[in-house]
Amino acid sequence: MVSVFGAGAIGLVLAARLARAGHDVRVCTRREEDAERIAASGIDVEEPETGARWNARPSTIAGAPRGEREVIFACVRGPDARAAAATLAAASPHALLVNVQNGVDGDAIFAERFARVIGAVIRHNCTRVYANFARAQSYGRIAVGAHPEGAGADVDAVAALLRSAGY
């Protein structure tokens, strides 16, 4: 199971791409009604430059994943990183945390609470239109690496997971 914590534009598109690639994905939303909408209809993604529109159906929950020991992609804005780190560490302290943001500043914040943090700097133009619908360029780029530096088998595994989803 892979969890995506945060259902903004990046979280929706990342979860949908991972689910479409065949991974068992759970989207963790802030609001119960958003989780219900995604559960009922899946996530719709539109790629305007290609005209493609597709749907993926990950599982959903409102709140943080509990007891997770596998990968959690934290897709939150920089100012929300500290609160997200506290919430996720309380719920799943042994998870491998992948911080997905536009920069690397949040990595240190998550590292205060998690033994291992992988930073994933993302460049993917996305817009959340509704709770379960996003517009995105068909191709995004993500650079991954362990915080504060380095590589490892877990970094390679996260990179392979992201490549399988088209990044």
**63 three-state secondary structure:** coil
Residue 60 confidence (pLDDT) above 90: yes
Tell me the per-residue pLDDT of 95-135, one tens digit each, with 9 for 90 and over.
999 999 988 889 999 999 999 999 999 999 999 999 999 99
Please report the DSSP string for 22-33 in residue order.
Answer: T--EEEEESSHH
Tell me the per-residue pLDDT of 62-96, one tens digit each, with 9 for 90 and over.
999 999 889 999 999 999 999 999 999 999 999 99
User: What is the four-CA torsion angle of 7, 9, 120, 29, rounded to 10 degrees?
Assistant: 0
Tell me the per-residue pLDDT of 1-51, one tens digit each, with 9 for 90 and over.
999 999 999 999 999 999 999 999 999 999 999 999 999 999 999 999 999
- Cβ proximity of 122 and 100 under 8 Å: yes
Residue from 94, 111, 101 nearest 149 by CA? 111
Ramachandran area for residue 36 (φ above 0: left; ψ -120 to 50: alpha; else beta): alpha
Residue from 102, 100, 79 nearest 5 by CA? 100
- What tokens were used for 134? 């996003």
